Amino acid sequence: MTRLTMNQLRAQIVEMLEEPVTIGEDDNLIDVGLDSMRAMNLAMRWEEAGVPLDFTDLAEAPTLRELWTMLDARQP
């Protein structure tokens, strides 16, 4: 797996939302439309790519910056 960048992470989240939105690093992902089902799908995608991240982790990292920090630290 190629290491994911913050911009790729942002693009994956926007793609999951299925509507064009701009996500700032400190925006709450729930506020921009990332509901629990979409968050679980993203967590499964990252888990399959070798990044141990689950739904609980997403709940603990509600902003793009917090999620990126967590995800980046866990990438192989």
The whole-chain average pLDDT of the chain stands at: 90
Predicted pLDDT at 1: 58
With contact defined as beta carbons under 8 Å apart, do 25 and 63 qualify? yes
The number of distinct structural domains making up the chain is 1
- CATH number at 62 reads 1.10.1200.10
Predicted pLDDT at 59: 84
Q: Is 1 part of a structural domain of the chain?
A: no
Predicted pLDDT at 54: 80
**Does 29 have pLDDT greater than 90?**
yes
Q: Is 11 part of a structural domain of the chain?
A: yes
pLDDT digits (tens, 9 = 90+) for 33-45: 999 899 999 989 8
For the entire predicted model, the pTM comes to 0.87
DSSP-derived letter for residue 30 is: T
Give the whole-angstrom CA distance, residue 34 versus residue 6: 17
Q: What is the CA radius of gyration of the chain?
A: 11
Q: Is 67 part of a structural domain of the chain?
A: yes
From 18, 30, 24, 22, select the one nearest 58 (Cα to Cα): 30
